[in-house]
Chain A
Amino acid sequence: MSQQDLSGLIVHTALGNRAAFSTLYESTSAKLFGVCLRILKDRAQAEDAVQEVYVRIWRRAGSFRADKASAMAWLVTIARNQAIDMIRARQPATLEYDQAPDMADPDLDPEARAALAGEGRRIEACLGELEADKAAAVVNAYVEGLSYQELAAQNAVPLNTMRTWLRRSLIKLRECLNR
């Protein structure tokens, strides 16, 4: 189903059309369940999440703006937010930084840069300008919904270092995207 068709279904859902809502569910629930499953890594929780996601879609369909986001991107954002809210609610509400000093930020790795670049899409090209582990942290955080604690553990660095790295990566990414 095209993005335009999905947009139309969202608009009709906003008008209270239950048939359009059902068609939207049939067309998109596999993707959104996939999102919830990937982030929550638990089928029962993903089922709860995807229910909540479609309740939100029904209630918020009126806020969809086709000129601002593709229909599927808008739907995935709702699913990611729901799944991430659910896992964050089970984790500490604030970050507890340890006493370790920030670790030095290694220089760019040209090979990793070359490996990630080359795709036509901007975000991938710009991720390619980051070191491989920094780019992987950004991608894993987004796709898997990892917390700072989890990222720090994966990269075997202190929490504050992880945050400094990721924020620096985001600023570099933004500079690249804006070029």
Chain B
Amino acid sequence: MSIGAPHSDDNALAGEYVLGVLPLDERRAAEQRIASEPAFAELVSSWQSELATLDDAYASEAPPRGVKARIDARLFAEAAKPAGLWGSLVFWRGLALASVAVVAAIGAYNLDLVGGSTPGSAPALVAELGAPGSAVGLVAALDPTSGALQITPAAFSPDDGKALELWLVPGEGAPISLGLVPEDGGRLVLDRSLRDQLSAGALIAVSLEPAGGSPTGVATGPVVLSGTLASK
């Protein structure tokens, strides 16, 4: 005899889902209904608040120390293994997507920022550097005439004794240091060889490094901001 999956009573199903007893297929099916049927989602939510009283049964136990660092590494791209994360183009593209959407919004602001550009000259390149889920941190604008990056701090300052290092992240190969972000923003004059590598679409990232910059030439600290250069 098979009784199949008795879906007739949504109330019981919602309760089964919250208890957690359902096998994976039915669990996923219930989640689809939560997403698409407000009435069913309401039943689930009601069971959750009633049964939450039972949460008292869970005894607290501190997780091992390394856990938080691994969470931060996953979320904030801390380069615990520089070669791994820094070498992953997919990873960088993911970060870039998070910030590319807002670049267009600052066009007007930007023209003021690089007021030196004149008609006929090469277009200014601007990257708005942010992090997923946070407000914009820095705006980096390349003045094509002087070859300097103008850095404007917006909402980010490193902890005491740290420095922000700016990196060009090429499609292949290791990130190239563009230098330290000047305190309080300001201009960062780039070598000609570096300047020539900056073009629209290039990915720029900022990592948190010891004062004086990365001692190894590759980023050692967490990547805190990133964005792509766009023509303005």
Chain A positions within 8 Å of B, measured between CB atoms, are 14-18, 22, 25, 29-31, 33-35, 37-39, 46-47, 50-51, 54-55, 58-59, 68-70, 72-73, 76-77, 80-81, 84-85, 88-89, 91-95, 97, 99-102, 121-124, 138-139, 141-143, 145-148, 151, 160, 163-164, 166-168, 170-171, 173-174, 177
Contact = CB atoms under 8 A, between A and B. Distances in A.
Contact of A58 (B9, B12, B58, B75): B75
B164 to A, nearest CB: 15
A122 B135 CA distance: 43
Contacts of B133: 14-16, 58-59
Given A16-B135, A34-B60, A142 B24 contact: no
Interface residues on B, range: 35 or more
Contact of A173 (B15, B49, B135): B15
Contacts of A122: 50, 53
Contacts of A173: 15
Given A18-B76, A29-B68, A174 B15 contact: yes
11 contacts: A17-B134, A33-B63, A33-B67, A89-B24, A91-B23, A97-B3, A145-B20, A148-B22, A166-B19, A167-B6, A167-B12
Chain A interface SS verdict (over half): helix
A17 B70 CA distance: 18
B64 to A, nearest CB: 6
B27 A85 contact: yes
A72 B63 CA distance: 17
Interface of B: 1-3, 5-6, 9, 11-12, 15-16, 18-27, 45, 48-55, 57-64, 67-68, 70-71, 74-76, 131-135
B21 A80 contact: no
Given A29-B67, A95-B5, A69 B23 contact: no
